[in-house]
Amino acid sequence: MSKSVARVAAALKAAGLEAEIIEPGPSRTAEEAAQACGCALDQIVKSLIFVGESGQLYLFLTAGGNRLDPARARALAGEGLARADAEQVRRETGFAIGGVAPLGHLTAPVILADPRLLDFDQVFAAAGTPRHVFAADPQALIAGCGARVGAFTA
């Protein structure tokens, strides 16, 4: 088990989330993940990482078929945002882009969740690598990672 996957497994346990980490197949994109997991596109939790003008990292947990609206995201963050580059994502979260989990980060970001995720009984999120995911009840996941639900999609 990779260090990243082990960190996610420990974070899931610490958050009281009973979730099995699986390797269903290629899941670098939401479309690939949905196909590999046999679920609807919007059941995939996309992890979008931005950095604020203050240097604060923001993680937007977005339903697979939704797109982030920059103006709405800025309004929720209360500051200007730019996409975090791959090096910063890895340095601060401990995960490579494509495998950023909602929890288990090296440095905790501010986490915001798309309300669309709450429309499902189960969602699938990255578990530390682009190949690993876990399934969870979205309400439990949002509570477990300390996310705030907010409208930030187009």
Tens digit of each residue's pLDDT (9 = 90 or more) over 49-98: 999 999 999 999 999 999 999 999 999 999 999 999 999 999 999 999 98
A 10 A CB-CB count for 7 gives: 21
pLDDT at 18: 86
In a domain, 104, yes or no: yes
In a domain, 87, yes or no: yes
Q: Which of these, 120, 122, 124, lies nearest to 21 by C-alpha position?
A: 124
Pairing state between β 133-136 and 21-22: antiparallel
pLDDT of residue 28 exceeding 80, the answer is no
pLDDT of residue 1 exceeding 90, the answer is no
In a domain, 38, yes or no: yes
What are the distances in angstroms from CA 81 to CA 18, 30, 59, 69?
33, 23, 11, 11
pLDDT at 27: 77
pTM of the model: 0.95
In a domain, 40, yes or no: yes
In a domain, 154, yes or no: no
Pairing state between β 123-126 and 44-52: parallel
Return the ∠ at Cα 107 (arms to 130 and 10), rounded to 5°.
Answer: 60
Please state, in angstroms and rounded to a whole number, the distance separating the CA atoms of residues 48 and 88: 13
In a domain, 128, yes or no: yes
Please state, in angstroms and rounded to a whole number, the distance separating the CA atoms of residues 101 and 125: 6
Q: Please report which confidence band the pLDDT of residue 15 belongs to, taking 50, 70 and 90 as the band edges.
A: very high
142 burial class (0-12, 13-18, 19+ CB within 10 angstroms)?
A: buried
Terminal CA-CA length for the chain: 37
Query: Domain range for residue 32?
Result: 3-149
Number of domains observed in the structure of the chain: 1
In a domain, 48, yes or no: yes
* CATH number of the domain encompassing residue 139: 3.90.960.10
pLDDT of residue 45 exceeding 80, the answer is yes
Taking only the tens place, the pLDDT of each residue in 128-148 is 998 999 999 999 999 999 999
pLDDT at 24: 92
